[in-house]
């Protein structure tokens, strides 16, 4: 009996070992058959469709091969890009684009792929990573791509392309941008009998309105005038609007009086209780606006889909309040091509499709971001409501200091230092001057010391 059991056990082990191997093998063999099926079904396309708005179509003739394309986003974006790829494959029957959708921790995966020399052919790279990747020789020089597909750069807003450059060379193309604006809860303004601010409003107006719109009942704030995030776009905007030289000669310079002036705005708002102390992860501030507890909220375009879906009050967006000037910090995903791709021609062609009006019509429909082209930003089908404030920001895209700081290739760590010190300001344990001093000291000692 005992012997039988042990033999039985050994048999089970053997069997499951065999079936385990077999299982994974059949998995592999399934794939090619699927892709061949796709190819045959799309071979018919040849004539350029009349409604196609893509200049790179002629150059796609005769391209053959396979490229991989990696991006982040939620399931909605995955579907958007799946549709875009399908459209592209239909137009360019010889090419197969493999979508590598990464539902989280994008850079952990991207860097692992980079370290093992298996980067995808085309991939997203945010503005803070371009320098790092170009220094490591991982991204292809796109100068020739821009020559071959001039439509990519044509009509793009001034200052945008710079965010895909490192050392003056174009390594990546910003696919769109997300302007930073002030979202307004119109209902709360009406209740308080206050007119909606116009685009010439200043930081002083902002603070004043925040005070008026804050309601305290029984010692508990039931409505905040505004909310701020401890996020790079926020502090770049506050400093930049005072024309602060917060990054100068390769060094952190947050102690610049104008930078202090700018950062004092959110610090004051929190200190006086007109804004809640921002959390360290950023999500809760969006929520506060959505549940109607916040009258004014500075944020990027990306909140629009959830605001549209979830706000049960009237809301709109106005430009960020003016200090002495106005900047629009640039936050985007750039599209880059791997330096080691075997199919740069195809990758470039696919990139031009991504950036074409037809391509962008797939990806901008979500409302998550704003197109970088003059003719598209005013197109109601592409940039939905609210539009005005976003169109206005396209006139002053970019911040000189942001570009300078990005050029060091050490943005992520610098960013972490600034956030950490500012969170202590919002938490009430240090002043903005102390924070500025700490940031400059820490950053210049450890990061910008050469």
Interface with another protein in residues 133-162 (CB under 8 A):
133, 135-136, 138
Decide: is 20 part of the binding site for another protein (CB under 8 A).
yes
Q: Which stretch binds another protein (CB under 8 A): 4-12, 38-46, 181-189, 370-378?
A: 4-12
Q: Which residues 185-214 are close enough to bind another protein by CB under 8 A?
A: none
How near is the Cβ of 90 to another protein at its closest, in Å? 18
Residue 280 to residue 266: CA distance in whole angstroms: 15
How near is the Cβ of 311 to another protein at its closest, in Å? 8
Q: What mask, x for binding another protein by CB under 8 A, covers residues 248 to 287?
A: ----------------------------xxxxxx-xx-xx
Q: Which stretch binds another protein (CB under 8 A): 75-83, 151-159, 250-258, 382-390?
A: 75-83
Nearer to another protein among residue 133 and residue 238 (C-beta): 133
Nearer to another protein among residue 322 and residue 410 (C-beta): 410
Cα angle value 10/11/17 (rounded, 5°)? 90
> What is each CA distance from 449 to 37, 101, 246, 252, 443, in whole angstroms?
57, 38, 16, 10, 8
Query: Which of 184, 303, 317, 397 is close enough to bind another protein by CB under 8 A?
Result: 303
How near is the Cβ of 195 to another protein at its closest, in Å? 27
Q: Where are the beta strands (DSSP E) in 233-378?
A: 247-248, 251-252, 294-300, 315-319, 333-337
Q: Where are the beta strands (DSSP E) in 262-361?
A: 294-300, 315-319, 333-337
Residue 288 to residue 278: CA distance in whole angstroms: 11
Cα angle value 287/174/114 (rounded, 5°)? 95
Nearer to another protein among residue 164 and residue 323 (C-beta): 164
Decide: is 167 part of the binding site for another protein (CB under 8 A).
no
Contacts for 377 with CB less than 8 Å, ≥ 6 apart: 370, 371, 383, 387, 390, 391, 394
Residue 116 to residue 338: CA distance in whole angstroms: 13
- Kindly state the helix (H) or strand (E) to which residue 348 belongs, with its residue range: helix 344-355
How near is the Cβ of 156 to another protein at its closest, in Å? 23
Q: Which residues 363-402 are close enough to bind another protein by CB under 8 A?
A: 368
How near is the Cβ of 369 to another protein at its closest, in Å? 9
Residue 156 to residue 147: CA distance in whole angstroms: 15
CB 90 within 8 A of CB 42: yes
Q: What mask, x for binding another protein by CB under 8 A, covers residues 22 to 41?
A: -xx--xx--x----------
Q: Which residues 218-247 are close enough to bind another protein by CB under 8 A?
A: 219-220, 230
Decide: is 343 part of the binding site for another protein (CB under 8 A).
no
């Amino acid at each position: 009996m005992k012997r039988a059991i042990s033999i039985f056990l050994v048999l089970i082990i053997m069997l499951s070992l065999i079936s385990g191997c077999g299982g994974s093998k059949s998995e592999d063999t399934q794939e090619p058959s699927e892709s061949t099926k796709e190819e045959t079904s799309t071979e018919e396309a040849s004539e350029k469709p009349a409604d196609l708005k893509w200049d790179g179509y002629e150059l796609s003739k005769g391209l053959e091969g396979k490229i991989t394309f990696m991006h982040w986003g939620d399931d909605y974006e995955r579907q958007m890009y799946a549709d875009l790829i399908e459209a592209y494959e239909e137009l360019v029957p010889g090419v197969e684009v493999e979508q590598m959708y990464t539902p989280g921790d994008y850079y952990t995966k991207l860097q692992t792929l980079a370290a093992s020399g298996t980067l995808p052919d085309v991939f997203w790279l945010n503005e803070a990573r371009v320098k790092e990747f170009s220094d490591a020789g991982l991204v292809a020089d796109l100068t020739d791509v821009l020559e071959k597909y001039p439509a990519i750069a044509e009509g793009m807003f001034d200052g945008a392309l710079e965010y895909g450059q490192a050392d003056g060379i174009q390594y990546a193309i910003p696919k769109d941008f997300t302007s930073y604006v002030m979202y307004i809860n119109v209902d709360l303004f009406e209740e308080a009998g206050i007119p909606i601010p116009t685009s010439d409003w200043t930081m002083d107006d902002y603070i004043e309105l925040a005070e008026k719109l804050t309601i305290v009942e029984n010692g508990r704030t039931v409505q905040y005038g505004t909310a701020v995030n401890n996020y790079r776009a926020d502090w770049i905007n506050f400093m930049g609007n005072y024309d602060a030289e917060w990054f100068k000669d390769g060094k952190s310079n947050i102690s610049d009086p104008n930078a202090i002036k700018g950062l004092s705005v959110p610090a004051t708002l929190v200190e006086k209780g007109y804004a809640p102390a921002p959390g360290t992860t950023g999500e809760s501030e969006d929520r506060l606006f959505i549940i109607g507890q916040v009258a004014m909220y500075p944020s990027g375009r990306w909140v629009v889909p959830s605001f549209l879906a979830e706000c049960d009050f009237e809301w709109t967006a106005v430009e960020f309040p003016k200090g002495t000037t106005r900047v629009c910090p640039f936050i985007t995903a750039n599209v880059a091509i791997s330096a080691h791709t075997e199919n740069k021609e195809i990758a470039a062609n696919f990139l031009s499709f991504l950036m074409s009006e037809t391509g962008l019509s797939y990806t901008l429909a979500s409302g998550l971001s704003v197109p970088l082209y003059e003719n598209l930003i005013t197109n109601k089908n592409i940039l939905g409501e609210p539009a005005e404030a976003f169109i206005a920001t396209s006139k002053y895209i970019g911040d000189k200091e942001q570009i300078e700081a990005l050029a060091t290739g050490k943005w992520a760590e610098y960013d972490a230092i600034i956030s950490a010190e500012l969170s202590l300001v919002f938490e009430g344990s240090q002043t903005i001057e102390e924070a500025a001093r700490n940031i400059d000291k820490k950053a210049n000692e450890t990061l910008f010391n050469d």
